[in-house]
Amino acid sequence: MENIAGKKPALTWAVHLSVGLLVLLWVIPTIGLLVSSFRSGDQIVSSGWWNALFTQEQQLSPIRVEGAEVPRDGMFVIEGRLFGDGGTTVSAWGTSSREPAAFAPGAVAELDDGQTVAVQADGSYVLTSPVSTEGTRLPRIFTTAATPPEFSLNNYNTVLFSPMAGQSIFQAFMNTATVAIPATIIPILIAAFAAYALAWMDFPGRALLIATIVGLLVVPLQLALIPLLQIHNAVGIGKGYLGIWLAHTGFGLPLAIYLLRNYMAGLPRDIIENARVDGATDFQIFVKIILPLSFPALASFAIFQFLWTWNDLLVALVFLGTGNDEQVLTGNIVNLMGSRGGDWEILSASAFVSIAVPLVVFFAMQKYLVRGLLAGSVK
Amino acid sequence: MEQAILALLTIMIGVGGCVGYFWLSNIVLDKVIFPASGPMAGRNITRANAVRPWLFLLPAVLALGLYLAYPVFATFWLSLNRNEAGDLVFVGLDNYRQMLGEDKFWESLRNNMVWLIVVPAMSTAFGLLAAQLTDRIRWGNIAKSMIFMPMAISFVGASVIWKLIYDTREAGQTQIGILNAIWLQFEGGAGSVLILRVLPVLILLAFAAAVAFVIWGQVKAMSEGGLVARGLRAVGVVIGLWLVYLGVTGSVGAATAQLPYGEPQFWLQIPFWNNIFLMAVLIWLQTGFAMVILSAALRGVPEDTIEAAIIDGANPFQIFFQIKVPQIMGTIVVVWTTITITVLKVFDIVRAMTGGQQETQVLANYMYDKLFVAVDWGVGSASAMVILLLVTPILIWNVYSARKEMR
């Protein structure tokens, strides 16, 4: 019955087409950055990334002739190649910026002072001069050439291991991991115990407490910044890892308790009552029965909290210092956008380093993420 | 390396500390304070069981109280004071007065309102569309994964991704931003008229018509329900009429606008529209979330209602809009409010892409500027209170429905 539209071929095609369009629209932005991160700065600036996948013909930036001159037949000759062995094919060339495509490959250009230049289609050139060119400025060669797609890992190498100024992305990566991993693990335990109490123990004020937690779910953490910074300064934590771990723990707890309580409340009552009758204490029931059974909910929350702490900018800006050993990926990238906003080769590779881990987590544990979303919102 | 060891140590201390606390406190309670033996064994067990929940809850309650509940009051207090050389001086409502007098504040409030309408509406609409369409095809799950993927990308990462899309080079240079590359394909011919005039006009008119249809339904239902319901309906109708007005004037504007064909545009510097371009980033990020939840809700719609509709001769569109959508209305509201909360806190995107310049300021970034750039705690806290005020209706609604559900 679900496939009522499937019986009409035209409508089915429309559905396929619209989904395809939607997917394309959603994927293209990421692909654009991904493709750019494998291109050199020159390539990024000289053509759109969507052209990078095909051989493209375009005017390249001029290259000055250089090399050792060799005397031959009374002339001084310099031979060389304009490009490496990348398969670039010259379709036209010239020696002045006014006529950058004056000659065909193989033609010989006569320059001033009796010099001649010849450029072949494969980019090799021969310059001859009646007098020694030593100490003089050699001519530049302008080319229009077809370049095959070319990708390299140079950008990643640069941003990870040889930073230009300040801190490497690798360091920031380590800092982010240092923030995110403890900030994911610690709240889970605290929340699990609290959720068990709220789900399976009877005590006065339980309903009120649950209502409070539901309310705290939506309190914007913006409100917490200054008061907490004051407390951290007062007790001597100041800005640093301890502070941000505590802050992320506090901010993550409402969702953690809410998710886990909902899940635990849905566990079968018989198991728990049987265990009680058999003389198990609450602590034993929790550790031996509830925790293992709640694994899916624990995994869902762990993913949420990990994505959130890894991707966070605001909390890191406020509770961490700005030194090399503390700045996280997001903060680093925002700085890059400000100071080197035009250097797409740096920016795109850095951004992809920061995106990579969450994407891996996402695709590996999508099932739990979806389950957690459903538990957190629909209920 | 040092840091990795520090982090590992913290995990061990944190986890060990938690387990140790829960374990030890339970032992102390059962063996030392209220031992389950001796003359008062029965009473002791009862007492121990009355105290135990609080042992389990203590760390969580402490952390929640200190990190979320206390700051609400502390921020409110800060918003009534001025920070003068480290000392707080009580100034009453002066901070609020000063804030209300600032153009930047009104600009952020105005922008936030547009964000609040556009982003949840578009994300939910796209999410619903994607959910309905992907459920019908074989490669639907792959398509879903792709649309859901941005969920994992940070706001900052998304800003970089979209900055490349919006990139602009001077006229005559090769455009490397895809939006400008597409824009330069339009030259004012028939295709341009079709896509840049007729299409937007149709979309806007369709939007206005859809809203008008909903209003009509509300007006017809006006005689039912209590006073509160009627009041809410009336408010909804007024907002709806305003949206219809916006749709109609917008379509007139789209039909008559002079478009600068052939010139590369600086997308993030066009007043008002740059806000829309920033919103596109968040819509891109949030649609996957809406899709996943609505898709589950759509699958939960009872088959027999759909069968009945088919037997009555309903077409696929009628089935979708008149059978399915009304039945998942509750979920749509949940998705809408969840995205609304995200929108109210949006900070990273504006900070990374425009820094709140060129009339793109929003409340969260305004607050950050006040707190940490201008170091004006009073006004910064006051604007944080405004954000809280905007969240409050959702907060009350959530608590209300959670309580209703538990009964």
Q: Where are the beta strands (DSSP E) in chain A?
A: 56-59, 63-64, 70-72, 75-81, 89-94, 108-110, 116-119, 124-129, 140-147
Residues B44 and B63 in one domain: yes
Residues A185 and A328 in one domain: yes
Q: Which chain B residues touch A196 with a CB distance below 8 Å?
A: 56
Residues A229 and A275 in one domain: yes
Residues B126 and B254 in one domain: no
In tens digits, what is the pLDDT along chain B, a chain of 407 residues? 677 787 788 778 878 888 888 888 888 887 787 777 777 777 777 888 888 888 888 888 999 998 888 999 999 988 888 877 777 778 888 889 888 988 889 999 999 988 988 899 999 999 999 998 888 888 888 998 899 999 889 999 999 999 889 888 887 777 888 888 888 888 777 778 888 888 888 988 988 888 888 888 878 877 777 778 788 888 888 888 888 898 888 888 888 877 777 788 888 888 888 899 999 999 999 999 999 889 988 888 898 998 998 898 888 888 888 888 888 888 888 888 889 888 888 888 998 888 888 888 999 999 988 888 888 888 889 999 999 998 888 888 888 888 887 76
Distance CA A112, CA A120 (A): 21
- Within 10 angstroms of residue A106's Cβ, the number of other Cβ atoms is 10
pLDDT the model gives residue B4: 74
The answer to whether A289 and A272 have CB atoms below 8 angstroms apart is yes
- Give the N- to C-terminal CA distance of chain B in Å, as an integer: 52
Domain count, chain B: 3
Residues A70 and A46 in one domain: no
* Confidence tier at A167 by pLDDT (50, 70, 90): low
Q: Is B21 on the interface with A (CB under 8 A)?
A: no
Q: Is B370 on the interface with A (CB under 8 A)?
A: no
pLDDT the model gives residue A6: 45
Task: Please check whether residue A268 lies inside any domain of the structure.
Answer: yes
Residues B34 and B144 in one domain: no
Task: Please check whether residue B178 lies inside any domain of the structure.
Answer: no
Domain count, chain A: 3
* Preferred mutation among A28, A51, A222 to probe B, highest tally of B CBs within 10 A: A222
To 10 degrees, the CA torsion angle through B60, B65, B68, B74? -160
Task: Please check whether residue A152 lies inside any domain of the structure.
Answer: no
With tokens 């455009």, the residue in question is B175
pLDDT the model gives residue A124: 81
CATH number, domain of A183, equals: 1.10.3720.10
To 10 degrees, the CA torsion angle through A109, A115, A118, A119? -100
Tokens read off for B137 = 């095809």
Tokens read off for B193 = 């008229």
pLDDT the model gives residue A27: 92
Distance CA A309, CA A320 (A): 13
pLDDT the model gives residue A2: 47
Residues A317 and A242 in one domain: yes
Distance CA A359, CA B153 (A): 7
Residues whose CB is less than 8 angstroms from the CB of residue A240 and which lie 6 or more positions away in sequence, other chains included:
A319, A320, A321, A326
CATH number, domain of B131, equals: 1.10.3720.10
Residues A245 and A107 in one domain: no
Q: Which residues pair with A126 in a beta bridge?
A: A79, A118
Residues B208 and B293 in one domain: no
Residues B196 and B121 in one domain: no
Residues A114 and A99 in one domain: yes
The answer to whether B383 and B367 have CB atoms below 8 angstroms apart is yes
Q: Give the A:B interface size as CB pairs under 8 Å.
A: 353
- Within 10 angstroms of residue A367's Cβ, the number of other Cβ atoms is 12
Instruction: Give the H/E segment covering residue B328.
Output: none
Please judge whether A190 and B59 are an interchain contact, meaning their C-beta atoms are less than 8 angstroms apart. Answer: yes
Q: Which of residues 175-204 of B touch A (CB under 8 A)?
A: 175-178, 181
Q: Which of residues 24-43 of B touch A (CB under 8 A)?
A: 26, 30
Stretch A31-53: mean pLDDT, rounded? Answer: 83
Task: Please check whether residue B175 lies inside any domain of the structure.
Answer: no
Residues B287 and B192 in one domain: no
Residues B299 and B367 in one domain: yes
Q: What is the mean pLDDT of chain A?
A: 83
Stretch A316-337: mean pLDDT, rounded? Answer: 85
A226, pLDDT greater than 60: yes
Residues A185 and A113 in one domain: no
pLDDT the model gives residue A341: 66
Q: What is the pLDDT of residues A74-94, one digit of tens each?
A: 788 888 887 766 677 788 888
Task: Please check whether residue B105 lies inside any domain of the structure.
Answer: yes
- Within 10 angstroms of residue B39's Cβ, the number of other Cβ atoms is 7
Counts of helices then strands in chain B (DSSP H, E): 19, 2
- Domain around B247: 185-261
Task: Please check whether residue B36 lies inside any domain of the structure.
Answer: yes
A153, pLDDT greater than 90: no
With tokens 């009964």, the residue in question is B407
Residues A94 and A178 in one domain: no
pLDDT the model gives residue A117: 84
Residues A175 and A285 in one domain: yes
Q: Which of B4, B68, B150 sits opposite A216 (nearest CB)?
A: B68
CA A296 to chain B, closest CA, distance in angstroms equals 18
Please judge whether B403 and A207 are an interchain contact, meaning their C-beta atoms are less than 8 angstroms apart. Answer: yes
Please judge whether B152 and A355 are an interchain contact, meaning their C-beta atoms are less than 8 angstroms apart. Answer: yes
Please judge whether B157 and A245 are an interchain contact, meaning their C-beta atoms are less than 8 angstroms apart. Answer: no
The length of chain B, given as a count of residues: 407
Domain boundary among B242, B261, B280: B261
Stretch A168-196: mean pLDDT, rounded? Answer: 87
Residues A92 and A164 in one domain: no
The answer to whether A125 and A141 have CB atoms below 8 angstroms apart is yes
Residues B287 and B362 in one domain: yes
Domain boundary among B240, B261, B282: B261
Residues B146 and B202 in one domain: no
Task: Please check whether residue A205 lies inside any domain of the structure.
Answer: yes
Q: Which of B4, B145, B347 sits opposite A314 (nearest CB)?
A: B347
Q: Is B149 on the interface with A (CB under 8 A)?
A: yes
Task: Please check whether residue A194 lies inside any domain of the structure.
Answer: yes
Task: Please check whether residue B176 lies inside any domain of the structure.
Answer: no
Domain boundary among A20, A35, A54: A54
- Domain around A233: 158-377
- Within 10 angstroms of residue B355's Cβ, the number of other Cβ atoms is 15
Residues A39 and A82 in one domain: no
The answer to whether A95 and A109 have CB atoms below 8 angstroms apart is yes
pLDDT the model gives residue A360: 92
Residues B296 and B403 in one domain: yes
Domain boundary among A147, A166, A195: A147
Residues B298 and B350 in one domain: yes
CA A81 to chain B, closest CA, distance in angstroms equals 27
pLDDT the model gives residue A85: 64
- Within 10 angstroms of residue A263's Cβ, the number of other Cβ atoms is 24
CA B208 to chain A, closest CA, distance in angstroms equals 23
pLDDT the model gives residue A163: 64
* Confidence tier at A7 by pLDDT (50, 70, 90): low
CA B204 to chain A, closest CA, distance in angstroms equals 20
Nearest of B302, B281, B296, B300 to residue B353 by alpha carbon: B281
The answer to whether A377 and A255 have CB atoms below 8 angstroms apart is no
pLDDT the model gives residue A92: 82
Domain boundary among B47, B70, B93: B70
Task: Please check whether residue B231 lies inside any domain of the structure.
Answer: yes
Percent of residues, chain A, with pLDDT higher than 70? 93
For residues A152-169, one letter each, b for 16 or more C-beta atoms within 10 angstroms of the residue's C-beta and e for the rest, the string is eeebbebbbeebeeebbb
Residues B404 and B348 in one domain: yes
Residues A188 and A321 in one domain: yes
Distance CA A7, CA B136 (A): 11
CA B316 to chain A, closest CA, distance in angstroms equals 7
